[in-house]
Structure 1
Amino acid sequence: MKLKVIICFLAFIFFNCKQKPENLFLQQDQIQITQPRLEATNQLIDSIAYLTASLKLEGTKIYYTTNGESPSENSNLYTSPIKVINPGTYKFKAYHPDWKESDIVEKVFYKKGIPIDSIIWHSNASDRYKGVGSLTLNNNKKGTVDFKDTQWLGFDTIAHASLQLKIESFVKSLTIGYLSDPSSWIFPPEHITVKTSVDGNNFKKLSINLQSIDGISAPSLKHVDIPIGEPIKYVQVEVKNVSSIPDWHEGKGNKAWLFMDEWVLNY
Structure 2
Amino acid sequence: MVIALFFSCTESKETSFAQTKDIKVVSPNFTVDSIFFKNNATINFRTAIGNTELRYTTDTSNITNNSKLITTPLKVNKSSFLKVKAYHPDFKESETIKLQLKKVKHSISNATVTINPMPSDSYPANGPSSLTDLKSGTIQFKKNNTWLGFNTKEVTIKVDLAKELTLSTITLHTLTAQGDWIFAPEEISIYSDSKLIGNYNSKNASSQTKESTIIDFIEVPVTTNTYSSFAITIKSLDKIPAWHPGANSIPWFFIDEIIVE
Pairwise same-fold verdict (TM > 0.5): yes
Structure 1 residue 130: Cα displacement: 1.0
| 2:120 paired residue number | 126
| Helix, strand or coil at the partner of 2:21 | helix
| Cα-Cα RMSD | 2.3
Asked if 1:247 corresponds to 2:239, the answer is: no
| Helix, strand or coil at the partner of 2:131 | helix
| 1:178 paired residue number | 174
| 2:191 paired residue number | 195
| 1:97 paired residue number | 89
| 2:219 paired residue number | 225
Structure 1 residue 167: Cα displacement: 2.0
Closer, same or farther: CA 185–41 of 1 in aligned 2, 3 Å: same
Please give the per-residue CA displacement for 1:124-182, whole angstroms capped at 9, x wherever unaligned.
Answer: 11111111222111110111122222111111112211111122210121001111221
Q: Which runs of 4+ in 1 moved over 4 A?
A: 19-27
Asked if 1:207 corresponds to 2:199, the answer is: yes
Contact 2:26 2:48 in 1 (8 A): no
| Helix, strand or coil at the partner of 2:56 | strand
Structure 1 residue 50: Cα displacement: 1.0
Q: How far apart, CA to CA, are the structure 1 residues paired with 2:247 and 2:219? A: 29
| 2:62 paired residue number | 70
How many residues of Structure 1 are paired with residues of Structure 2 in the alignment? 246
Alignment of 1:26-105 (within 5 A): 27-105=19-97
Q: How far apart, CA to CA, are the structure 2 residues paired with 1:103 and 1:246? A: 29
Contact 1:32 1:100 in 2 (8 A): yes
Q: How far apart, CA to CA, are the structure 2 residues paired with 1:132 and 1:20? A: 58
Q: How far apart, CA to CA, are the structure 2 residues paired with 1:75 and 1:247? A: 42
| Helix, strand or coil at the partner of 1:73 | coil
Structure 1 residue 21: Cα displacement: 7.5
| 1:168 paired residue number | 164
Contact 1:143 1:151 in 2 (8 A): yes
Q: How far apart, CA to CA, are the structure 1 residues paired with 2:210 and 2:82? A: 24
Q: Which amino acid aligns with 2:145?
A: T
Please give the per-residue CA displacement for 1:189-209, whole angstroms capped at 9, x wherever unaligned.
Answer: 111111024xxxx53343321
Structure 1 residue 24: Cα displacement: 5.8
Contact 1:45 1:110 in 2 (8 A): yes
| Helix, strand or coil at the partner of 1:135 | helix
Please give the per-residue CA displacement for 1:70-96, whole angstroms capped at 9, x wherever unaligned.
Answer: 211100111110122222121101112
Q: Which amino acid aligns with 1:180?
A: T
Structure 2 unaligned blocks of 5 or more: 1-10
Q: Which has the larger radius of gyration?
A: 1
| 2:148 paired residue number | 153
Closer, same or farther: CA 211–57 of 1 in aligned 2, 3 Å: farther
Q: How far apart, CA to CA, are the structure 2 residues paired with 1:205 and 1:123? A: 22
Closer, same or farther: CA 34–211 of 1 in aligned 2, 3 Å: farther
Please give the per-residue CA displacement for 1:73-124, whole angstroms capped at 9, x wherever unaligned.
Answer: 1001111101222221211011122222222112222122341510011111
Moved more, 98-107 or 135-144: 98-107
Contact 1:175 1:265 in 2 (8 A): yes
Q: How far apart, CA to CA, are the structure 2 residues paired with 1:136 and 1:165? A: 15
| Helix, strand or coil at the partner of 1:262 | strand
Closer, same or farther: CA 131–171 of 1 in aligned 2, 3 Å: same
| Helix, strand or coil at the partner of 2:179 | helix
| 2:233 paired residue number | 238
Moved more, 108-117 or 186-195: 108-117
Closer, same or farther: CA 114–196 of 1 in aligned 2, 3 Å: farther
Q: How far apart, CA to CA, are the structure 1 residues paired with 2:151 and 2:13? A: 52
Structure 1 residue 260: Cα displacement: 0.9
Tell me the TM-score normalized by structure 2. 0.86
Asked if 1:257 corresponds to 2:252, the answer is: yes
